[in-house]
Structure 1
Amino acid sequence: QNHWFTYNETMTVESVTQAVSNLALQFGEEDADPGAMSRPFGVALLFGGVDEKGPQLFHMDPSGTFVQCDARAIGSASEGAQSSLQEVYHKSMTLKEAIKSSLVILKQVMEEKLNATNIEV
């Protein structure tokens, strides 16, 4: 919200990712602020949204390094899910196709049965 009030514009998905990355990257710097968080997240994160560039997806690893992706799986069983994503994903996918493919992949890699408590579309 500070960005909106300061610049009178919404943040791009990449800018949000960069801001969170900067927090994570402060960890381990020799001249870091003494109040800086130690290992603030320790997890991989996906940042997705739609901005003036269209749909955007970024993957940030626990160190704070991030890359732009077209499709990405993280977490347990991510290798199998990522492999399946690479097989089915194409840039011209419709939203309906993407949702269906995602659910099929989740069904393949999740140990639990898909239900309303562990998945939301």
Structure 2
Amino acid sequence: MLVDESTVQKITILSPNIGMVYSGMGPDYRVLVRKARKTAQQYFRLYQEHIPVAQLVREVAAVMQEFTQSGGVRPFGVSLLLAGFDDNGPQLYQIDPSGSYFAWKASAIGKNMNNAKTFLEKRYSDEVGLGGLGGSIVVEAAGCGGGSSVGIEDAIHTALLTLKEGFEGQVSGNNIEVGIIGPDRKFKVLSAAEVQDYLQEVE
């Protein structure tokens, strides 16, 4: 493949506490990102606090569902994984092109997602983290969800191992992305060098 892999971005920050990754058509994703950021900003201007994760998920899913039944438009050609941290702790949602959405402890979307999901089920069924084709977001689950406590380092390693399970070809800091969020940290996308360091740890 002749595409410069370092120019492909899969993870987007929607607000300081929420990030999103996709699988599917990039232009459709960019439209949804703009709508989600606008919704998050409107909420912040009105209430002076960041939008709850579940509320932003509902808003994005409503837009996607509306495009399945409106004349003159087509459904969005993307599946989304949206992760964030708010007063209810770490949360992960998968949103389908139909507009349906589900909360997950861990999930994967994109090519070879079945292998990745199987890996997650076998290895860390209680962890919160996610992987999309070429991108992953991990949520530090500090003392949430039935008493599970997952450190950010362990969650990053799990996400990278999951990506390696479902990724075709050589995995490197240039062709995958990792975003992190936790109770005391804003959403951040790791640099290629940081991802490469973590990859060396899991090999």
Structure-1-length-normalised TM-score: 0.85
Letter paired with 2:50 = T
Partner Cα distance (2:94, 2:151) in 1? 22
Aligned to 1:108: 165
Contact 1:57 1:68 in 2 (8 A): yes
Percent identity over the alignment is 34
Aligned to 2:120: 85
1:33-72 equivalence runs, <5 A: 37-39=73-75, 41-72=76-107
Letter paired with 1:115 = S
- Greater RCO between the two (CA within 8 Å, min separation 6)? 2
Partner Cα distance (2:163, 2:112) in 1? 9
Partner Cα distance (1:28, 1:108) in 2? 33
Higher strand share: 2
RMSD: 1.8
The farther-off stretch of 96-105 and 41-50 is 96-105
| Alpha-carbon shift at residue 56 of structure 1 (Å) | 0.6
Indicate the SS of the match to 2:83: strand
Contact 1:42 1:63 in 2 (8 A): no
Indicate the SS of the match to 1:111: coil
Q: Structure 1 regions of 5+ residues with no counterpart?
A: none
Letter paired with 1:120 = E
Structure-2-length-normalised TM-score: 0.53
Aligned length: 116
Q: Which has the higher Rg, Structure 1 or Structure 2?
A: 1
Partner Cα distance (2:151, 2:61) in 1? 30
For residues 79-100 of structure 1, the C-alpha deviation after alignment (integer angstroms, 9 at most, x for no partner) is 0000000111224332211211
Partner Cα distance (1:73, 1:15) in 2? 22
Q: Structure 2 regions of 5+ residues with no counterpart?
A: 1-40, 127-147, 179-203
Aligned to 2:51: 11
| Alpha-carbon shift at residue 102 of structure 1 (Å) | 1.7
1:22 pairs, out of 47, 50, 62, with 62
Q: Which runs of 4+ in 1 moved over 4 A?
A: none
The farther-off stretch of 89-98 and 50-59 is 89-98
